Structure 1
Amino acid sequence: MDITVIDTPQLGDRSYLVHDGTVALVVDAQRDIDRVEAEAEKAGVRVTHVAETHIHNDYITGGYVYARKHGAAYLVNAADDVSFERTPITDGETVRVGEMTVKAVATPGHTHHHLSFVVEHGDEQAVFSGGSVLYGSVGRTDLLGREHMVGLTHDQYASARRLAQEAEAKAALYPTHGFGSFCSSGPATGASGSTMGEQLETNHVYTDPDEEHFVTELIANLTAYPNYYVHMGPANAAGPSAPDLSVPESLAPEELRARLEAGEWVVDLRHRVAYSAGHLKGTISFEYGDGSSFTTFLGWVFPYDRQLTLVGSREDVEDAIRDLSRIGIDSPDAALGEDPRQLAPGATVSSYPRVGWKDVLADRPADEPILDVRRADEYEDSHIPGAVNIPLHELLTRMDELPAGRLWVHCGSGYRSGVAASLLERAGRDAVHIDAMFAEAEESGVPLER
Structure 2
Amino acid sequence: MSDTVEKHGADASTEQTQVAASTVEVPSYQPRQTIGQMLRNDLGFLPVLLTLILIVAFFQILNPIFLQGENFTNILLQSASLGIYSSGIVLVLLLGEIDLSVAAVGTLCAVVMAILTERHGWSAGPAILIALLIGAGAGLLNGIFVAILRIPSFIVTLAFFIVYSGLLLFLLGSQTTQSVGDPFILSLAGTPVSYFTDVLGVGLPTLAVLAYVASLVYDYFTRKKAGLRTMSMTRLIVQSVVAIAIVEVVVVLLENYQGVPYSMGILFGLILLLWLVLTKTSFGRHIYAVGGNAEASRRAGINVVGIRIAVFVLCSAIAAVAAIVDTSRQNAVASAIPSMLQLDIIAAAVIGGVSLFGGRGSIWAVILGMFIVQCLDNGLSLLNQTTDVQQMVEGLVLILAVTSDALIRRAQTRSRSGK
Task: Give the TM bin, normalised by the shorter chain.
Answer: under 0.3
- Give the number of the structure with larger relative contact order, counting CA–CA contacts within 8 Å between residues 6 or more apart: 2
Question: Greater CA radius of gyration, 1 or 2?
Answer: 2
Structure-1-length-normalised TM-score: 0.19
Q: Say which structure is richer in helix.
A: 2
Structure-2-length-normalised TM-score: 0.20
